[in-house]
Amino acid sequence: MLRIRKLPIIGFALFIIVFPWIAGTIPAIGNYPDLMIFAGIYCLITIGLSLLMGYAGQISLGQAAFYGIGAYVSAILTVHFGLSPWFCMVIGMLIASAVAVLVGVPSLKLRGHYLAMATLAFGIIVFIVFNEEIEWTGGPDGISGIPGLSLFGFEFDTVLKYYYLVWFLVFAAFIFTINVIQSRSGRALRAIHISEAASSAMGVNVSRFKIMVFVYSAILASLAGSLYAHYLNFINPSTFDLFFSIKLLIMIALGGMHEVWGAIVGAFLVTFLSFEWLHFFEEFEVIVYGIILLLVTIFLPHGLVGIPGIVKGWFRR
């Protein structure tokens, strides 16, 4: 029976809460809360992606585009029109879901990996738009001067405050997703992954569920994009390129895509690998990712979160 235990979630929440205070006392990891903000932003995307890929079995190669849509909608509407960042965030999510429906409906009605191809093309198109629509997006130079976030006069102007904001949202998305997985909708998604024929014979509207979860993943990616934009106050297209979409796939493959925990572990690991631990590889970074991914797929098909299961298996013998 699929049961997600509460204890690890509470433990993880406590860790997230106290981490900045611990990091503050150790100079060597003093910059880690800042990295954790990025890890949190990536977690938002990978949580949605894990539901889409690990549970519903659909591949998206264009998740960076939804991330970009969130970031650019927030940036353009706040910088050019002076609208409230929170309002822009919601508009971003609405636009991302509308776009997801447009991309998803034709490709998800078909059986097979049409979504992968459609999103691959879509991701490239969006990337070109970010680069070429100079009047609105600033082209390759991007947009700067994006305002920070504040709520009822409370400014999220320090790393610490933003850290808690991002992680609050990550937990909200995490819990929401876990609840979905443990419900009728989640069972339908897992059923679709194994057999579309049997799912529809059980009355599951297969294409509707696939579209729904794709939209959900797009909304989370867009939210992540908005958070990114308001945190850095500056965006440019290179953040939202095809390689980032691939990197997201690496995250969930590494962490393990059949569990939402995998999305979090993977996002963490790749964030720290790319910002800290793999820095000295410079442009060879891609190769290192390739090797890691290769090893994980061969030896840990369920990703890093599959390790406890393997260890348990040893002891049972």
Q: Does 190 bind other proteins (CB under 8 A)?
A: yes
Stretch that binds other proteins, among 60-68, 188-196, 239-247, 282-290 (CB under 8 A): 188-196
Q: Is 25 exposed, middle or buried (0-12, 13-18, 19+ CB in 10 A)?
A: exposed
Cα-Cα-Cα-Cα dihedral sign, residues 283, 285, 286, 291: positive
User: If binding is defined by CB under 8 A, does position 53 make contact with other proteins?
Assistant: no
By CB under 8 A, is residue 212 in contact with other proteins? yes
Binding to other proteins by residue 5, rule CB under 8 A?
Answer: no
| Residue 185 binding other proteins, by CB under 8 A | yes
Is 7 or 201 the residue whose CB approaches other proteins more closely?
201
256 contributes a contact to other proteins by CB under 8 A: no
Residue 55, amino acid: Y
**Shortest Å, Cβ 112 to other proteins:** 16
The 10 Å CB-count burial string (b at 16+, else e) for 116-147 is bebbbebbbebbebbbeeeeebbeeebbeebb
Binding to other proteins by residue 183, rule CB under 8 A? Answer: yes
When asked if residue 7 is in the footprint of other proteins (CB under 8 A), the reply is: no
Q: Please give the Cα distance from 59 to 62 (Å, whole number).
A: 9
Residues 97-136 that bind other proteins (CB under 8 A): none
CA distance 102 to 81: 26
Kindly state the number of chain residues that form the binding site for other proteins, as judged by CB under 8 A: 31
- Decide whether 161 or 190 has the Cβ nearer to other proteins: 190
Measured on CA atoms in the order 136, 137, 142, 146, is the torsion positive or negative? positive
Q: Is 184 in the site for other proteins (CB under 8 A)?
A: yes
Q: Note whether 203 binds other proteins by CB under 8 A.
A: yes
The reply on whether position 260 binds other proteins by CB under 8 A is no
Q: Which of 204, 267, 269, 270 binds other proteins (CB under 8 A)?
A: 204
Q: Quick check: 93 binds other proteins (CB under 8 A)?
A: no
Binding status of residue 158 toward other proteins by CB under 8 A: no
96 binds other proteins (CB under 8 A): no
Q: Is 202 in the site for other proteins (CB under 8 A)?
A: yes
Return the residue of 78, 107, 199, 239 that touches other proteins, per CB under 8 A.
199
Q: Is 201 in the site for other proteins (CB under 8 A)?
A: yes
Binding residue (CB under 8 A) for other proteins from 36, 180, 220, 269: 180
Residues forming the site for other proteins (CB under 8 A): 1-2, 176-177, 179-180, 182-188, 190-191, 193-195, 197-206, 212, 216, 258
